[in-house]
Amino acid sequence: MKVAVYNGIKNITIESREKPVVGPDDFILKVKAAALCGSDLRTYLHGHPKITPPQVLGHEFAGVVDSVGKNIKGVKVGDRVAVHPGIPCGHCYYCDRGEQNMCESRKQIGIHYQGGFGEYVLIPGKTLEVGTVVKIPEDCSYEVAALGDPLVSAMNGQEVVGTKMGDIVLILGSGPIGIFHAMLSKLRGAQDVILANPSPGRLQYAKEHNIADHYYCINEGTDFRGYIDSLTDGRGADVVIVANTSVKSACQAVELVAKNGRVLLFAGFPKEAPQLGLDGNLIHYKQIRVMGSLGSTPRQYQMAEKLLFSKRIDGELLITHRIPLEKINEGFQLMIDGKSLKVIINKFD
Ligand SMILES: [Zn+2]
Ligand SMILES: [Zn+2]
């Protein structure tokens, strides 16, 4: 079978490997669609502390069950399924509390197991036990179902920050995660959703597809505060979601949020300089709640897939490019150039 092997920074090669052999407690998926994720790009550009090359990346995928081990219950050959890559242990302190995203020994397909950038991927049966395998209805495409992972991460963020009816929500970042946050904020009843980003390309795409209510291109010299004031009677946004990795954005969020507002730091910051230098007095005197969010739980994942299946969240809108596996390096280049939202690999042989 053909796989894309990550050999180190900026080094992915297409290789031929033996198809994985199914063990009694695994099943094998023939991958039909795999999405490139921002975290794959980070690994591609900077490496990953938990990944030892050679490794097949790819953790956002869906496919058809090709074979099942003898102890596997819950899927059969021919089933169309999406699988969440995170595999919680199911029995630690956090798993017991239903907070599997905080699991102390969580494993991930694409990090601890070979990932979905190949014709076949071996799935540990544990996924069935913890509830991270979802059957795809006939009227949903594999590529849309493959977006359950990024969607559910945004969903967990929304639950943490508690976007509610009538809120004015400002989202800093209009990549796939920012777009999902905009869609989810609308679904949760936000009165107004403002999408802001420094580069105009993705913002324009979002505007053409009516993702938010207002769009703002953040440039040096423009009056961002004045713009937000004009939309909020000078109060600021009730919820500000930082859907990018810039420290400056986090500081901006605290300035642009209303009194008694909530700020969500959705993404990690550069590990060499994660200090934010937030104005503590703004947080205190405006009674701001600053929160983080990470990953998702199996319960949320099942919900996310259902939102994609019912088209309450229109996954199609996120897919801007489709490429064969051989062109994976070009796919990463599209992301580097900021020309894409989701790039999908839809041909593997
Ligand atoms: Zn991802
Ligand atoms: Zn656990």
Q: What separation in Å is there between the alpha carbon of 99 and the centre of ligand 2?
A: 8
In degrees, rounded to 5, the angle at the alpha carbon of residue 265 between the alpha carbons of residues 150 and 253 is 125
Q: What separation in Å is there between the alpha carbon of 36 and the centre of ligand 1?
A: 7
Q: What separation in Å is there between the alpha carbon of 162 and the centre of ligand 2?
A: 25
Q: What separation in Å is there between the alpha carbon of 219 and the centre of ligand 1?
A: 28
Q: Per-residue pLDDT tens for 164-174?
A: 999 999 999 99
Neighbours of ion ligand 1 (CB under 5 A): 37, 149
Q: What separation in Å is there between the alpha carbon of 68 and the centre of ligand 2?
A: 25
What does residue 193 show for φ and ψ, rounded to 5 degrees?
A: -120, 125
Given this model, what pLDDT does residue 208 score? 96
Residue type present at position 169: V
Given this model, what pLDDT does residue 140 score? 98
Q: What separation in Å is there between the alpha carbon of 60 and the centre of ligand 1?
A: 6
CA-nearest of 315, 38, 286, 301 to 159 is 301
Question: How far apart (Å, rounded) are the C-alpha atoms in residues 148 and 267?
Answer: 17
| CA 131, chain centre distance (Å) | 18
**Which ligand has its closest atom nearest to the C-alpha of 151?**
1
**Which ligand has its closest atom nearest to the C-alpha of 99?**
2
**Level-2 CATH architecture, domain 154-292:** 3-Layer(aba) Sandwich (3.40)
Q: What separation in Å is there between the alpha carbon of 315 and the centre of ligand 2?
A: 30
**Which ligand has its closest atom nearest to the C-alpha of 109?**
1
pLDDT grade, residue 38 (50/70/90)?
Answer: very high
Question: How far apart (Å, rounded) are the C-alpha atoms in residues 154 and 182?
Answer: 10
CA-nearest of 214, 329, 192 to 258 is 192
Q: Per-residue pLDDT tens for 72-97?
A: 999 999 999 999 999 999 999 999 99
Q: What separation in Å is there between the alpha carbon of 66 and the centre of ligand 1?
A: 24
Structure tokens at 111: 């990090």
Q: Per-residue pLDDT tens for 302-346?
A: 999 999 999 999 999 999 999 999 999 999 999 999 889 999 999
pLDDT grade, residue 155 (50/70/90)?
Answer: very high
What does residue 123 show for φ and ψ, rounded to 5 degrees?
A: -115, 120
Omega before residue 54 within 30° of 0, cis: yes
Q: Are 305 and 278 in contact (CB under 8 A)?
A: no
**Which ligand has its closest atom nearest to the C-alpha of 90?**
2
**Which ligand has its closest atom nearest to the C-alpha of 103?**
2
On whether ipTM exceeds 0.95, the answer is: yes
pLDDT score of 199 more than 90: no
CA-nearest of 236, 295, 302, 238 to 267 is 295
Q: Within the chain, which residue ranges are assigned CATH 3.40.50.720?
A: 154-292
CATH superfamily of the 2-146+314-347 domain? Medium-chain alcohol dehydrogenases, catalytic domain (3.90.180.10)
Q: Within the chain, which residue ranges are assigned CATH 3.90.180.10?
A: 2-146+314-347
Q: Are 281 and 174 in contact (CB under 8 A)?
A: no
Average pLDDT along the chain:
97
Given this model, what pLDDT does residue 221 score? 85
| Per-residue three-class SS string for the chain | CEEEEEEECCEEEEEECCCCCCCCCEEEEEEEEEECCHHHHHHHHHCCCCCCCCECCCCEEEEEEEEECCCCCCCCCCCEEEECCEECCCCCHHHHCCCHHHCCCCEEECCCECCCCECEEEEECHHHHHCCEEECCCCCCHHHHCCHHHHHHHHHHHHHHCCCCCCEEEEECCCHHHHHHHHHHHHCCCCEEEEEECCHHHHHHHHHCCCCCEEEECCCCCCHHHHHHHHHCCCCEEEEEECCCCHHHHHHHHHHEEEEEEEEECCCCCCCCCCCCCCHHHHHHCCCEEEECCCCCHHHHHHHHHHHHCCCCCHHHHEEEEEEHHHHHHHHHHHHCCCCCEEEEEECC
**Which ligand has its closest atom nearest to the C-alpha of 87?**
2
Q: What separation in Å is there between the alpha carbon of 33 and the centre of ligand 1?
A: 14
What average pLDDT does range 277-305 have in this prediction? Answer: 97
Question: How far apart (Å, rounded) are the C-alpha atoms in residues 237 and 47?
Answer: 36
What average pLDDT does range 29-39 have in this prediction? Answer: 97
Question: How far apart (Å, rounded) are the C-alpha atoms in residues 143 and 140?
Answer: 8
Q: Per-residue pLDDT tens for 213-243?
A: 999 999 888 899 999 999 999 999 999 999 9
Question: How far apart (Å, rounded) are the C-alpha atoms in residues 158 and 175?
Answer: 16
What does residue 34 show for φ and ψ, rounded to 5 degrees?
A: -140, 130
